[in-house]
Amino acid sequence: MLSIFFIASCVSQPNIGGSGQALQITYEAEELLVNKHYVQASEVFLRLAKENPQQADFYKLHAAQAQFSAGYDEKVREMIGTVDINQLTEQQRSQLYLLSAQLYLNEGSAGQAAEQLQLVTVSSLNAKQKQIYYEANAFAYALMGQLDESIHERILLSEVLIKHEAKVRNQKAMIALLNLLSLHDLEQRALLQQGDVYEGWIELALIERKTLKGTSEFNSQLSEWEGRYLFHPAHALIASEYFLESQLSLSDIQNIAVFLPETGVYAEHAKAVRAGFMAAYYQQEEALRPNVRFYDTSKLAVDLLYQQAVDEGAQLIIGPLNKVTLKELLKAEILKVPVLGLNYSEELNNANLYQFALSPIDEVNQIVEQAILEGHQNALILAPDNLMGERVAGYFQSAWEEKEGQVLAVQKFEVGVNDFSHPVKIMLNIQESEFRVNKLRQVVGGVEYNARRRQDVDVIFMVANSQEARLINPQFYHNRAGSVAVYGLSRIYTGQQDVRNNVDLNAVGFCTIPWLFDDVYQGELSRQVLNETWKQFPDKFLSLIAFGIDAYGVVPHLSKLKTMHYQGATGELSLNNANRIVRKLVCANFKQGLAQVITEDEQSLSLELVSED
């Protein structure tokens, strides 16, 4: 979620009693830190701790800081747990509290991070530590939804930042925070007329929100603002030409480069994306079509491919499709030309990067919304015992608990099996019921047996493909859980109304792309229109064809997606503040073997019933 790195210059020298050897080794550790050899530096600090008992806690603290820079949070927790805080100076204690706060922020525990930050004596920190302190405070407040407080911390951060680039980056973060406020909230804050730096930021955010960049009206309002706030720190942001950034528009782009693999594991997936992309391209009026050139990411390193595309005049890169390749591109390039990445990673952040993916996160969030709408509270999660299952089960648990739902258990099942009775029985506590009955039989002889499932569950989230789900769902009926609501991912629906096979999915709900339902998707490139195209691919690639359609169709709207929605084949698309395209899907459930979309009237009825309860 967040990584605030320890800076080598934060290391303060201990009072080592004139020990030249210890001083020399300390310098060696600092040199390792400067060269980013964090683990080795940590080992040197730990050796110093053993050799200098009186300064052991000081060295343990800096060993922990080095491990934090290396990204080993668990080791950091262990190390700071061995530090005797009473043996530290006030400055060192503040460093410890600051480090502890960073750990809490990394795991998303903003409230606990804020508690640690309140213990810090700011005056004891050096300039670099103050930067970390104010940025950590800003993050903590933002995570807790206290946007005003977060902005004020960033104002203080701006005062201690030295490098121009860092100041501009911090000011862009302030604008992003202000954009999280509604227009009404901004206008109400502007009415307070505090006449300070904060009010200047509010007015600047209002200009950006209410007036289109690049217009004469926008430039006039910006000039007027500069005249009223002559010494405001935002002049640095204006000088960086942030407010002159052009709106990305297809009408302005003549050359598009598309990065897709032609060989390898994802080659077939890429063909489906390309088929949808080109269908959308040729559907557009010929005079308005840009030049499109495809680049094979399986033949050349992505950084070299990017430079080649830029040299050949590309004004926009679409792709790559693979997450690893996308990460490699971000490591190697500043991104002079915007990139619409066809995958998503939380770790990636670049002003010129847009991320668009068929992410299960969108599905999970909407399934959870639907389950909450229907009044459910206590959940079980059933997922495959692999990395994907663990990741998606984690998405479900986080999203559910964020809505104040309770996850009673997460049950895993073995991949590749055909009998799911065992994990289902364990999840529903059926085995425990059977065990009690068998023990009773041993004591009193024959007794009638009716297994009882756990009674505290009202919803099950199932992470499974269509084949697995067809085998799992009947197990819920067999084990007396037929009244429990069940939701699956979009993968349980192949896109084909296969009554004979899908009857085993009756009552299971899911959320998927609108393109799979002709009566929902209103675009010109419906499944019916592209009948000959999608029939060339397996059913599991249907969503990738829709993905390709939107990868082309969304381009003219990218700069506007924070304030408007685009009705795409893969969902109603909008852009969040991390430049990730978020999809609002359609939800459906199986009735008599048919996937049927849940209408707005049905959703309203569910909401009314929950309200009455």
CA distance 401 to 410: 13
Per residue in 285-319, pLDDT (tens digit) is 887 788 999 999 999 999 999 999 988 889 899 99
Would you say residue 3 has pLDDT above 60? no
Per residue in 27-50, pLDDT (tens digit) is 777 777 777 777 887 888 888 878
Q: Are 456 and 484 in contact (CB under 8 A)?
A: no
Does residue 60 or residue 402 have the better pLDDT?
402
Work out the pLDDT band at 61, boundaries 50, 70, 90: confident
Report CA 181 to chain centroid distance, whole Å: 20
Does residue 138 or residue 48 have the better pLDDT?
138
Per residue in 564-582, pLDDT (tens digit) is 788 999 999 999 888 899 9
Element (H, E) at 258: strand 255-260
- The confidence score (pLDDT) of residue 439 equals 45
Omega before 320 cis (within 30°)? yes
For 209-222, b where at least 16 C-beta lie within 10 A, e where not — what string? bebebeeeebeebb
> What's the whole-number mean pLDDT along residues 156-175?
88
- The confidence score (pLDDT) of residue 297 equals 95
Work out the pLDDT band at 15, boundaries 50, 70, 90: very low
CA distance 348 to 558: 18
> What's the whole-number mean pLDDT along residues 271-297?
91
Element (H, E) at 103: helix 90-106
> What's the whole-number mean pLDDT along residues 153-170?
89
Of 28-37, 148-157, 438-447, the least confident: 438-447
Would you say residue 594 has pLDDT above 50? yes
What is the β-pairing status of strands 581-584 and 571-575?
antiparallel
Instruction: Burial-class residue 399 by CB neighbours within 10 Å (0-12, 13-18, 19+).
Output: buried
CA distance 140 to 3: 12
Per residue in 382-416, pLDDT (tens digit) is 999 999 999 999 999 999 999 999 999 999 999 99
Instruction: Burial-class residue 230 by CB neighbours within 10 Å (0-12, 13-18, 19+).
Output: exposed
Does residue 13 or residue 49 have the better pLDDT?
49
Instruction: Write out the DSSP string of 406-472.
Output: EEEEEEEE-TT-S--HHHHHHHTTHHHHHHHHHHHHHHH----------SS--EEEE---HHHHHHH
Pick the closest to residue 202 from 214, 213, 215, 193 (CA basis).
193
Coil, strand or helix at 567: strand
CA distance 269 to 547: 11
Q: Are 486 and 462 in contact (CB under 8 A)?
A: yes
- The confidence score (pLDDT) of residue 471 equals 95
Coil, strand or helix at 311: helix
Highest-scoring range by mean pLDDT, 52-56, 104-108, 274-278, 447-451: 274-278
Instruction: Burial-class residue 500 by CB neighbours within 10 Å (0-12, 13-18, 19+).
Output: exposed
Report CA 96 to chain centroid distance, whole Å: 29
In the block, tokens 């001083």 appear at: 23
Provide the residue type at 95 as one letter: Q
Q: Are 459 and 376 in contact (CB under 8 A)?
A: yes
CA distance 570 to 580: 14
Does residue 60 or residue 212 have the better pLDDT?
60
- The confidence score (pLDDT) of residue 16 equals 43
Percentage of the chain surpassing pLDDT 70?
86
- The confidence score (pLDDT) of residue 600 equals 65
Q: Which two tokens stand for residue 83?
A: 């530090």
Mean pLDDT, rounded, of the chain: 84
Angle at 161 between CA 156 and CA 164, to 5 degrees: 125
Would you say residue 422 has pLDDT above 50? yes
Running DSSP on this structure, what letter comes out for residue 580? B
Would you say residue 610 has pLDDT above 50? no
> What's the whole-number mean pLDDT along residues 418-424?
91
- The confidence score (pLDDT) of residue 243 equals 77
- The confidence score (pLDDT) of residue 518 equals 84
Percentage of the chain surpassing pLDDT 90?
40
Pick the closest to residue 458 from 371, 368, 370, 377 (CA basis).
377
Q: Are 192 and 199 in contact (CB under 8 A)?
A: yes
Instruction: Write out the DSSP string of 488-555.
Output: E-GGG--SS--HHHHGGGTTEEEEE-GGG-TTT--SSS-TTTTHHHHTTS-GGGHHHHHHHHHHHHTG
Work out the pLDDT band at 194, boundaries 50, 70, 90: low
In the block, tokens 């009566």 appear at: 519
- The confidence score (pLDDT) of residue 48 equals 82
Of 245-249, 265-269, 315-319, 533-537, the least confident: 245-249
List the domains of the chain with CATH numbers: 8-145 (1.25.40.10), 246-358+521-568 (3.40.50.2300), 360-512+580-612 (3.40.50.2300)
Which phi and psi angles does 185 have, rounded to 5°? -65, -40
Contacts 24+ apart (CB under 8 A), 473-480: 473/504, 473/505, 473/506, 473/507, 473/508, 474/504, 475/420, 475/421, 475/424, 476/424, 476/428, 478/421, 479/421, 479/424, 479/425, 479/428, 479/430, 479/451, 479/453, 480/428, 480/451, 480/452, 480/453
Would you say residue 83 has pLDDT above 90? no
CA distance 595 to 506: 9
Instruction: Write out the DSSP string of 32-59.
Output: HHHTT-HHHHHHHHHHHHHH-GGGHHHH
Angle at 210 between CA 209 and CA 211, to 5 degrees: 105
- The confidence score (pLDDT) of residue 490 equals 94
Does residue 350 or residue 444 have the better pLDDT?
350
Pick the closest to residue 542 from 498, 510, 494 (CA basis).
494
Per residue in 467-512, pLDDT (tens digit) is 999 999 999 988 888 889 999 999 999 999 989 999 999 999 999 9
Pick the closest to residue 530 from 284, 286, 275 (CA basis).
275
Q: Are 159 and 231 in contact (CB under 8 A)?
A: no
Work out the pLDDT band at 74, boundaries 50, 70, 90: confident
Q: Which two tokens stand for residue 467?
A: 């084949």
- The confidence score (pLDDT) of residue 268 equals 95
Instruction: Compute the 3-state secondary structure of the chain and give helix, strand, coil in percent, each to the nearest 5.
Output: 55, 10, 35
> What's the whole-number mean pLDDT along residues 179-208?
82
- The confidence score (pLDDT) of residue 370 equals 92
Helix and strand element counts for the chain (H, E):
25, 15
Pick the closest to residue 236 from 290, 301, 162 (CA basis).
162
Provide the residue type at 608 as one letter: E
> What's the whole-number mean pLDDT along residues 187-197?
79
Instruction: Burial-class residue 332 by CB neighbours within 10 Å (0-12, 13-18, 19+).
Output: middle
